């Protein structure tokens, strides 16, 4: 207990030191920000901290967090959780009137939409809103923060080069024709454990006609399912699995740079892309600091910081690594971006989910 307290005190002192040195910078407002924004900054500073529940890896969020701390001198409690945990925590804490997060930042767009509809998220008109594509904004409540196409990750030493799928159709064909040789060697997201896995499955189901064929072939080949892209990377690099599909593409590109055995392929006929979405929570313990952080995430600087760790920005006019041109080139221009809209909540209808999972489990057993 004591050690924890002194640790917190230490980090507070450190941020306080930064805040004085960067004071001048924080006062200059970016273009397009309202004049009373300085009041929001002052209020946020008096709140002193901002708490974030997120499914984004802490290592990816860290440059953004550090820059925010240095710019405003506000401490950041970064709570890395799975997508379902972000959602469950906001629901339970909201019900108890004990909201612990100021920002909910998650890849599970559909779960976030449910939170919005349940009235657990705050309406906030961000001065950055005009810089976002229309499909990245829902009623000034849910904001898209990145565009994330999915990729296929494979082990170059083990998967025959002629087997590497270049399109979704080739992936389906590969699993159907070589299922026996690939038995136990294919990985993908688990829609039961992972919110993003479910969202991707729904998108594939709605946007392609081959979803159940793919699922069936995957099940027949005794495919393995994981709750996170990182777990799939571990298996592909070690050679336990040869190919993983629906892996978050920005991670995959990063891993390709790090490891000589990792190959990445984007399907040129159809590539689903989701958006990481962020919102200010209702009943946030630090409401002004939460708003400030959301704006910072969407600002030009925030988006570049995310890009520096491989999170592709969606801000209009952004040019640099992982910008729209680059992403389009990678995916052959056939990126199907999931829009932030009300329809996402349909995924959550209990009946619909029960039916989907029943069919999914059947497919996983290799039955039709």
Partner 1 sequence: MSSTARLQPRAEMRGYRLAVIAALVLFVMTPVGLIIYQSFLDAPFFDKTSRFSLEAYDYVVTDPEFWSAFGTTAIFAFGMVAVAVPLGALLAFLLTRTDLAGRRWLEPIVLVPMFLSSIVLAFGYSVAVGPSGFVSLWLKETLGLRLWSIYSLGGMILIGGLSHVPNVYLYVSSAMRSLPSDLEEAARASGASIWRVSLDVTLPMVLPSLIFAAALNLLLGFETFGIPLVLGDPSGIVVLTTYIYKVNGIFGTPTYHVMAVVAVSLILVTLPLVYVQRLLLRNARRYAAVGGKGARAAPLRLGASGQLIAWGLIGLWLTVSVLMPIGGISVRAFVNAWGEGVRLSDHLTVSHFAQLMETPSLFRGILNTLALAVIGGAFAVAIYLMIGLAGHRNKGPSGALLDYMVLLPRALPGIIIGLAFFWVFLFVPFLTPLRPTLVSLFVAYLIVGLSYGLRIIQATLLQVAPELEEAARTSGASMARSWRDVVVPIIRPGLVGAWSLIMIVFLREYATGIYLMGVGTEVMGTLMVSLLTSGAMDQIAALAFLSIIFTAAGLGLALRLGARIHD
Q: Which residues between 69 and 88 bind partner 1 (CB under 8 A)? A: 77-85, 88
348 binds partner 1 (CB under 8 A): yes
Type and span of the H or E element at 326: helix 324-330
Q: How far apart are alpha carbons 47 and 144 in whole angstroms? A: 25
355 binds partner 1 (CB under 8 A): no
The site string for partner 1 over 98-137 (x = CB under 8 A, - otherwise) reads x-x---------xx--x-----------------------
146 binds partner 1 (CB under 8 A): no
Residue 224 three-state SS: strand
At residue 333, φ and ψ (nearest 5 deg) are 75, 0
Sign of CA dihedral 293, 148, 351, 341: positive
Contact segment (CB under 8 A) with partner 1 among 119-127, 237-245, 295-303, 330-338 equals 237-245
222 binds partner 1 (CB under 8 A): yes
Residue 358 three-state SS: helix
330 binds partner 1 (CB under 8 A): no
Taking the least distance from each CB to partner 1, the nearer of 40 and 278 is 278
Least separation in angstroms between residue 321's CB and partner 1 is 22
Total residues binding partner 1 (CB under 8 A): 73
2 binds partner 1 (CB under 8 A): yes
Question: Tokens representing 14?
Answer: 């450190």
Question: Tokens representing 362?
Answer: 């059947």
205 binds partner 1 (CB under 8 A): no
Interactions with partner 1, residue window 28-67 (CB under 8 A) = 51, 55, 57-59, 62
DSSP classification of residue 120: -
Sign of CA dihedral 89, 92, 95, 99: negative
Interactions with partner 1, residue window 164-203 (CB under 8 A) = 184, 187, 190-195, 198
227 binds partner 1 (CB under 8 A): yes
| Helix extents (H) in 73-189 | 83-95, 109-117, 168-178
Q: How far apart are alpha carbons 36 and 31 in whole angstroms? A: 13
Taking the least distance from each CB to partner 1, the nearer of 90 and 137 is 90
18 binds partner 1 (CB under 8 A): no
- Name residue 206's beta-bridge partners: none
Taking the least distance from each CB to partner 1, the nearer of 202 and 265 is 202
The site string for partner 1 over 283-322 (x = CB under 8 A, - otherwise) reads ----------------------------------------
Pairing of strands 243-248, 142-155: antiparallel
Q: Which residue has the tokens 């952004």?
A: 318
Least separation in angstroms between residue 98's CB and partner 1 is 6
With contact defined as beta carbons under 8 Å apart, do 53 and 90 qualify? yes
């Amino acid at each position: 207990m004591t050690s924890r307290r002194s640790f917190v005190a230490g980090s507070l002192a450190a941020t306080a030191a930064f805040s004085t040195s960067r004071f001048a910078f924080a006062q200059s407002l970016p273009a397009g920000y309202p004049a009373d924004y300085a009041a929001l900054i002052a209020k946020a500073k008096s709140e002193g901290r901002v708490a974030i529940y997120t499914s984004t890896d802490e290592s990816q969020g860290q440059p953004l967090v550090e820059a925010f701390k240095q710019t405003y001198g506000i401490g950041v409690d970064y709570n890395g959780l799975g997508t379902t945990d972000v959602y469950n925590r906001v629901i339970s804490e909201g019900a108890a009137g004990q909201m612990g997060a100021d920002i909910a930042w998650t890849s599970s767009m559909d779960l976030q939409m449910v939170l919005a509809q349940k009235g657990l998220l705050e309406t906030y008109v961000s001065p950055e809103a005009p810089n976002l594509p229309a499909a990245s904004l829902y009623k000034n409540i849910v904001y898209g923060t990145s565009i994330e196409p999915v990729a296929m990750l494979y082990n170059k030493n083990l998967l025959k080069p002629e087997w590497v799928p270049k399109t979704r159709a080739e992936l389906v064909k590969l699993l159907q024709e070589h299922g026996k040789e690939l038995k136990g060697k294919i990985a993908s997201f688990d829609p039961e454990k992972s919110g993003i896995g479910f969202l991707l499955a729904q998108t594939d189901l709605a946007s392609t006609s081959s979803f159940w064929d793919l699922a069936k072939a995957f099940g027949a080949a005794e495919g393995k399912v994981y709750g996170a892209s990182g777990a799939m990377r571990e298996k592909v690099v070690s050679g336990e699995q040869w190919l993983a599909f629906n892996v978050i593409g920005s991670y995959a590109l990063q891993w390709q740079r790090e490891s000589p055995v990792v190959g990445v392929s984007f399907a040129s006929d159809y590539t689903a892309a989701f958006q990481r979405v962020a919102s200010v929570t209702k009943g946030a313990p630090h409401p002004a600091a939460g708003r400030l952080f959301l704006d910072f995430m969407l600002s030009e600087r925030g988006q570049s910081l995310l890009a520096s760790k491989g999170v592709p920005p969606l801000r209009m006019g952004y040019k640099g690594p992982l910008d729209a041109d680059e992403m389009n080139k990678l995916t052959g221009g056939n990126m199907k971006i999931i829009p932030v809209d009300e329809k996402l909540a349909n995924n959550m209808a209990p009946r619909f989910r029960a039916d989907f999972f029943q069919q999914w489990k059947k497919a996983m057993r290799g039955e039709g």
